[in-house]
Amino acid sequence: MKLSEKQLFILTIIIPAIIAVILSAVGYFVFYNQSSRLKKNIVDTANKIKQANDKKIEMAKLEERLTELEGKTKSLEEALPTKEEIAYEKFIDTFTKLGQEAGVQLTSAVPDEGKSGAPQQIPTSFDKISYNLKIEGDFEQVISFIYLVETYQRFIKVNKFAVRPAMGADKTIRYGLDISLTTYVYKPPK
């Protein structure tokens, strides 16, 4: 069986060319699908990396905010009296010393509303302590006492005060001051 030139040409050139085209098409199709999947994986990974970087930036901002809040908490802790400092004797000693510095005499110190100096519960982290004081002195001494209380190293708020005339033992003009004070004690979370 002898093949004609035409048949031989078809067998040697055209059929291998057709097979090559088919294999190329299949290879391209497989490569294209795999390439598409790789591109999708690359895009997905890039998105995950971007999200991770965004979270990292957000975490840095949160850490910075936490540091800021810790600093504020520390300054609050330093400004507010401790539980030991608000014990009745020590608390009154503080006002006695301020009175001596201002030159006034502390004549009365009573926990507000008969609470016997016990802390009054207010929102979560603070106990409220209030006292009513009575002092006597001349005008400058009374003003000096108020100034010393308001500028004391610990937070003490003057809620209200009333000035009344008082006579000194030597018939000098003196003033009585009824003053209502409040402070808070920080209770750190457990």
- Terminal C-alpha separation, the chain: 101
Per-residue pLDDT band for 115 (boundaries 50, 70, 90) equals very low
> What would the pLDDT profile of 35-89 be if each residue is shown by its tens digit?
788 888 888 999 999 999 999 999 999 999 999 988 888 887 777 777 776 667 7
- The residue segments making up the domain with residue 130 are 88-186
- 171 and 137 assigned to the same domain: yes
- The DSSP call for residue 82 is P
CA distances from 130 to 32, 112, 115, 153, 179 (A): 80, 5, 8, 17, 11
Compute φ and ψ for 2, nearest 5 degrees: -105, 135
Percent helix, percent strand, percent coil in the chain, to nearest 5: 55, 25, 20
Tens of pLDDT, residue by residue over 128-181, are: 888 888 988 888 888 898 888 888 888 888 888 888 887 666 677 788 889 888
What is the spatial distance between Cα 119 and Cα 125, in angstroms, rounded to a whole number? 12
User: Domain end: 31, 55, 79, which one?
Assistant: 79
CA atoms within 13 Å, Cβ hemisphere of 20 = 6
Domain C-terminal end among 58, 79, 100? 79
104 and 163 in one domain? yes
Q: Which of 76, 106, 94 is nearest to 149 (CA)?
A: 94
Residue 81 CA to residue 156 CA, distance in Å, equals 9
| Number of domains into which the chain is organized | 2
Kindly state whether residues 140 and 161 are assigned to the same domain. Answer: yes
End residue of a domain, out of 17, 50, 79: 79
- Kindly state whether residues 105 and 26 are assigned to the same domain: no
